[in-house]
């Protein structure tokens, strides 16, 4: 086919013009590839930070937090301040927290040492475990698991002398007395739903997850912070009220996640804390990411007083250079890539049109020789497409090199979550607190074949567009006008 | 019974532009050209020679009158049909050679054959044969920039002849050549055409060439003022 040999000769022998046009397109393509890789790297980095707490982006946490009518005054407003609760719920709350009030006369004779564990419901009201089944039955819910998160007060000291006889003491009265309150948080988890618990096997950094059999009921997983604070390690025994649990795993709670100090079997915690068949949290997994908002709304409709925290809510709490870079990528870099691509298109178009203009007499001669308009358009467009392919391939190579360089630079980004303790309870210590702090994550720039193909496709499309416009302009000229042209 | 002429032009006019700026390049031309005839058109610049050649070669349409070629009125043909007609029946040789600078001598000849959609082998064979007929069998791979002016015009003639056209149209083919080379090129053009009984229409300013032509048209202000036969 003569068309191809002519095309090859044009591209080869007008090398300067071909290289210039291809380079213009290549720069645009390279920017698109590099920025897309960087953007993907930022997405991956964000996912790496958030994934442990967001699962696959389909998880939700349901709780029924207590809301005081006088939040700023905390516990001072008293249980009566929780006006949205029914009388039964207020009574239940009083019962569950009654144990926090210690009668010294029950601890032993004055002067004797004592130690006692007390479970306290703080800000999350418990509810029947049957609600888990109700949530499970909602449309769009894949699975649901109940959890029970409580404050565990380890009270130690010496039974006070007569001054305290007949009185009651609590954490607020401990100062100056010989009684110490050591608070921690404990969560009971459904061992049959390991991936949906408040701590998951993926978060265990040392040791193992719970045994799924009966042995698991006597095992505990503790967080890294708690293990360091208490000198606890794998194999250590933790006494919790009347039970003893063997530490089988050390977990690192994710940034922004909800963490307790100690995790044990849900049934055992319900039993020890006298809350059989009660839970105060439900972990829910939606069937798809698209279903999350619908499921969240349905739960809040069906379950009075419930609040649903989604992965998106948690992601909103993340800040730091990771987020700044992500915003930069979202706003500036993609705009830059788009501008570069448009500029590359325009440059390619301009160079092609200039080239065609210089060849007016040549193309007019072809028309005089009997070349059809379609043949002339095809010829010019073919040359431009070939230039586009070269530009696309060179651009993809340059973009891949840039992405490789960014990848090798191993840039560290910081993701931070503020110290806001949304669930701090009226007793002054947290329960299932949001884990605050910073986390560093490496910024990569992964290349996907799709992006490279799209970028090359764009370059070819740019060449084709430039060629079609240039070719059509040339083909429209009457041969007598084209032959008169001084090029 | 007389053979009908290959070309029959009646009251042909061509006006460029409109209104007061309009220029009447051809003004009521009547002309018959028989098949196989060799015709030279002369005249001063602006006399309408090139316009007449362009209308004869289906490169342009008259604004008035009729142009019959081989019995058909080509003035009313569509742009596509005119293009087909040029591809099948006409060969052009231009003053500026109009070769494609990126193609070799054989590539340039092949460019004239491309619209005929020949098989690659046949196309190359015809190109080679045409180049040999103009004495450039050993210069087929050379680019135009590597050839002299006379050689470039020979390539252009080969490009026109390779298509085996009914009519060969040449617009001052020697205008850019020195007199000796010009004579050689002209002899080649007329010699090949005469041998193949081809119709040749040639524009020239060269009085010597005109003096030896079988038929000479002289133009002035868009009109044929003389039609001499040897």
Inter-chain contacts counted by CB atoms under 8 A, chains A and B? 78
| pLDDT score for A318 | 61
The minimum CA-CA distance between B78 and chain A, rounded to whole Å, is 12
Measure the N-to-C terminal CA separation of chain A; round to a whole number of Å. 28
Mutate to test the interface with A, among B16, B55, B59 (most CBs of A within 10 A): B59
Average pLDDT across chain B, whole number: 91
d(C-alpha B183, C-alpha B162), whole Å: 21
Residues 6+ apart with CB under 8 A from A18: A11, A12, A387, A390
Half-sphere exposure of B117 (CA within 13 A, CB side): 3
Task: Provide the ipTM.
Answer: 0.91
Cα A19 from chain centre: 44
d(C-alpha A199, C-alpha A192), whole Å: 13
Smallest Cα–Cα separation from B193: which of B93, B124, B117?
B93
Cα distances (angstroms) measured from residue A440 to each of A254, A413, A415, B106:
12, 6, 6, 67
Residue A234 burial class via C-beta count within 10 angstroms: exposed 0-12, middle 13-18, buried 19 and up: middle
How many Cβ atoms are within 10 Å of A11's Cβ, its own excluded?
A: 21
Tell whether A486 lies on the interface with B, counting CB pairs under 8 A.
no
Cα A455 from chain centre: 28
Tell whether A1 lies on the interface with B, counting CB pairs under 8 A.
yes
Between residues B20 and A247, which one has the greater pLDDT? Answer: A247
Helices (H), A231-329: 266-272, 292-302, 311-315, 321-328
CB burial string A39-60: b at 16+ within 10 A, e below? bbbbebbbeebbebbbbebbbb
Backbone conformation region of residue A62, classed left if phi is above 0, alpha if psi is from -120 to 50, else beta = beta
Residue at token pair 């490009």: B159
Tell whether A13 lies on the interface with B, counting CB pairs under 8 A.
yes
Instruction: Supply φ then ψ for residue A59, to 5 degrees.
Output: -95, 150
Instruction: Supply φ then ψ for residue B9, to 5 degrees.
Output: -110, 130
d(C-alpha A22, C-alpha B216), whole Å: 53
Backbone conformation region of residue A22, classed left if phi is above 0, alpha if psi is from -120 to 50, else beta = alpha
Residues 6+ apart with CB under 8 A from B117: none
B47-83 tens-digit pLDDT: 999 999 999 999 999 999 999 999 899 888 899 999 9
d(C-alpha A85, C-alpha A96), whole Å: 15
Using an 8 Å CB-CB cutoff, list chain B residues near A2.
110-111, 113-114, 120, 123
Cα distances (angstroms) measured from residue A353 to each of A463, A484, B146:
11, 19, 27
d(C-alpha B81, C-alpha B70), whole Å: 14
| pLDDT score for B217 | 95
DSSP secondary structure, A67-96, as one string: --TTGGGGGGG-GGG-TTS-HHHHHHHHHH
Q: Which of A5, A369, A372 lies at the smallest CB-CB distance from B112?
A: A369
Query: Cβ distance A81 to A88 under 8 Å?
Result: no
- Mean pLDDT value across residues B104-120: 94
pLDDT at B25 over 80: yes
Using an 8 Å CB-CB cutoff, list chain A residues near B54.
480
Cα distances (angstroms) measured from residue B125 to each of B122, B143, B156, B192, B193:
5, 19, 17, 18, 20
Contact B114 A483 (CB under 8 A): no
Cα A201 from chain centre: 18
Smallest Cα–Cα separation from B154: which of B129, B173, B179?
B173
- Mean pLDDT value across residues B151-177: 91
Per-residue pLDDT of chain A (487 residues; tens, 9 = 90+): 788 889 889 888 888 888 888 888 888 888 888 888 887 887 777 766 665 444 434 578 888 876 554 444 444 344 444 456 667 777 777 777 666 666 666 667 777 787 888 888 766 778 888 888 888 888 888 889 998 988 888 888 887 775 544 445 555 554 456 778 888 889 998 888 888 877 888 888 899 989 888 888 899 999 988 898 889 999 999 988 888 999 999 988 765 556 788 999 999 999 888 888 999 888 888 887 778 888 888 888 888 778 888 777 766 666 666 666 666 666 666 676 777 778 777 877 888 888 888 888 888 899 999 999 999 999 998 988 888 888 889 988 998 888 888 888 777 777 665 544 444 333 333 334 555 556 667 777 888 888 888 888 888 888 888 888 888 888 888 888 877 765 4
Query: Cβ distance A418 to A317 under 8 Å?
Result: yes
For residue A441, give the 3-state DSSP assignment: strand
| pLDDT score for A180 | 80
Residues 6+ apart with CB under 8 A from B45: none
**What is the 8-class DSSP label of residue A477?**
S
The encoded tokens of residue A181 equal 């309150």
Contact B83 A372 (CB under 8 A): yes
Do β-strands B215-220 and B223-229 pair in parallel, antiparallel, or remain unpaired? Answer: antiparallel
| pLDDT score for A320 | 62
Smallest Cα–Cα separation from B153: which of B229, B103, B225, B99?
B99
Tell whether B15 lies on the interface with A, counting CB pairs under 8 A.
no
Residue at token pair 């006399």: B47
Crossing angle for the helix pair B105-113 and B149-162, nearest 10 degrees? 30
Contact A1 B112 (CB under 8 A): no
| pLDDT score for A166 | 44
Cα A174 from chain centre: 41
d(C-alpha A369, C-alpha A363), whole Å: 10
Residue B192: band (very low, low, confident or very high) from pLDDT cuts 50, 70, 90: confident
How many Cβ atoms are within 10 Å of A405's Cβ, its own excluded?
A: 11
The encoded tokens of residue A173 equal 């009265």
Q: Which of B84, B98, B107 lies at the smallest CB-CB distance from A5?
A: B107
Residue A362 burial class via C-beta count within 10 angstroms: exposed 0-12, middle 13-18, buried 19 and up: buried
Mutate to test the interface with B, among A370, A371, A479 (most CBs of B within 10 A): A370
Paired residues of A258 in beta bridges: A434
Using an 8 Å CB-CB cutoff, list chain B residues near A371.
83, 87, 114-115
Those of residues 349-378 in A touching chain B at CB distance below 8 A are 361-362, 365-373, 375
The encoded tokens of residue A215 equal 């042995």
Residue at token pair 């804390």: A273
d(C-alpha B210, C-alpha B42), whole Å: 8
- What is the helix, strand, coil percentage profile of chain B, to 5? 40, 25, 35
| pLDDT score for A323 | 64
């Amino acid at each position: 086919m003569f068309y191809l040999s002519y095309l090859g000769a044009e591209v080869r022998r007008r090398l300067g013009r071909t290289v210039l046009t291809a380079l213009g397109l290549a720069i645009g393509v390279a920017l698109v590839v590099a920025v897309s890789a960087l953007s993907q790297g930022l997405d991956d980095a964000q996912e790496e930070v958030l994934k442990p707490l967001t699962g696959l982006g389909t998880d939700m946490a349901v709780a029924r937090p207590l809301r005081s009518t006088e939040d700023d005054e905390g516990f001072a407003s008293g249980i009566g301040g929780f006006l949205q609760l029914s009388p039964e719920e207020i009574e239940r709350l009083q019962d569950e927290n009654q144990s926090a009030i210690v009668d010294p006369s029950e601890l032993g004779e004055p002067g004797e040492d004592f130690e006692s564990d007390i479970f306290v419901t703080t800000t999350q009201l418990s509810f029947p475990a049957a609600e888990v089944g109700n949530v499970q039955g909602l449309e769009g819910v894949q699975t649901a698991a109940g959890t029970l998160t409580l404050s565990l007060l380890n009270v130690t000291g010496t039974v006070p002398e007569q001054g305290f006889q007949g009185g009651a003491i609590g954490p607020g009265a401990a100062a100056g007395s010989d009684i110490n309150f050591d608070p921690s948080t404990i969560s009971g988890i459904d061992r049959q739903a390991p991936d949906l618990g408040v701590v998951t096997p993926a978060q265990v950094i040392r040791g193992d997850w719970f045994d799924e059999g009966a042995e698991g009921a006597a095992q505990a997983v503790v967080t890294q912070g708690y293990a360091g604070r208490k000198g606890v390690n794998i194999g250590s025994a933790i006494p919790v009220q009347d039970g003893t649990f063997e530490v089988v795993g050390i977990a690192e709670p994710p940034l922004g996640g909800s963490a307790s100090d100690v995790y044990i079997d849900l049934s055992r915690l319900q039993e020890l804390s006298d809350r059989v068949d009660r839970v105060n949290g439900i972990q829910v997994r939606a069937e798809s990411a698209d279903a999350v908002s619908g499921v969240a709304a349905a739960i809040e409709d069906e379950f009075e007083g419930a609040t649903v925290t989604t992965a998106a809510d948690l992601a909103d709490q993340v800040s730091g250079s990771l987020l700044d870079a992500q915003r930069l990528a979202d706003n500036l870099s993609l705009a830059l890539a788009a501008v570069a691509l448009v500029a590359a298109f325009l440059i390619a178009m301009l160079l092609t049109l200039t080239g065609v203009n210089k060849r007016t007499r040549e193309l007019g001669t072809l028309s005089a020789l009997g070349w059809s308009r379609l043949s002339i358009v095809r010829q010019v467009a073919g040359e431009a497409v070939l230039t586009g392919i070269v530009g696309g391939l060179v651009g993809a190579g340059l973009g891949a090199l840039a992405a490789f360089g960014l990848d090798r630079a191993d840039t560290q980004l910081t993701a931070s979550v503020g110290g806001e303790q949304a669930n701090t309870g009226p007793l002054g210590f947290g329960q299932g607190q949001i884990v605050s702090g910073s986390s560093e994550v490496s910024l990569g720039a992964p290349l996907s074949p799709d992006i490279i193909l799209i970028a090359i496709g764009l370059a070819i499309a740019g060449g084709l567009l430039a060629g079609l416009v240039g070719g059509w302009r040339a083909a429209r000229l009457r041969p007598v006008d084209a032959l008169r042209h001084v090029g | 019974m007389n053979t009908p002429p290959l070309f029959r032009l009646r009251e042909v006019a061509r006006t460029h532009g409109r209104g007061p700026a309009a220029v009447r390049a051809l003004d009521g031309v009547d002309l018959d050209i028989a098949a196989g005839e060799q015709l030279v058109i002369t005249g001063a610049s602006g006399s309408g020679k090139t316009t007449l050649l362009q209308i004869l070669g289906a490169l342009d349409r008259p604004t008035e009158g009729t142009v019959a070629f081989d019995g058909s009125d080509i003035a009313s043909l569509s742009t596509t049909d005119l293009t087909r007609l040029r591809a099948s029946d006409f060969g052009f040789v231009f003053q500026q050679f109009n070769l494609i600078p990126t193609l070799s001598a054989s590539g340039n000849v092949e460019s004239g054959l491309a619209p005929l959609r020949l098989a690659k082998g046949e196309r190359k064979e015809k190109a080679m044969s045409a180049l040999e007929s103009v004495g450039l069998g050993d210069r087929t791979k050379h680019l135009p920039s590597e050839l002299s002016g006379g050689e470039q015009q020979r390539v252009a003639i080969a490009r026109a002849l390779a298509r085996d056209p009914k009519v060969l149209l040449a617009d001052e083919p020697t205008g850019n050549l020195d007199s000796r080379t010009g004579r050689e090129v002209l002899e080649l053009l007329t010699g090949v055409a005469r041998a193949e009984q081809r119709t040749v229409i040639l524009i020239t300013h060269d009085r010597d060439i005109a003096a030896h032509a079988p038929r000479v048209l002289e133009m002035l202000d868009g009109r044929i003022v003389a039609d001499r036969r040897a």
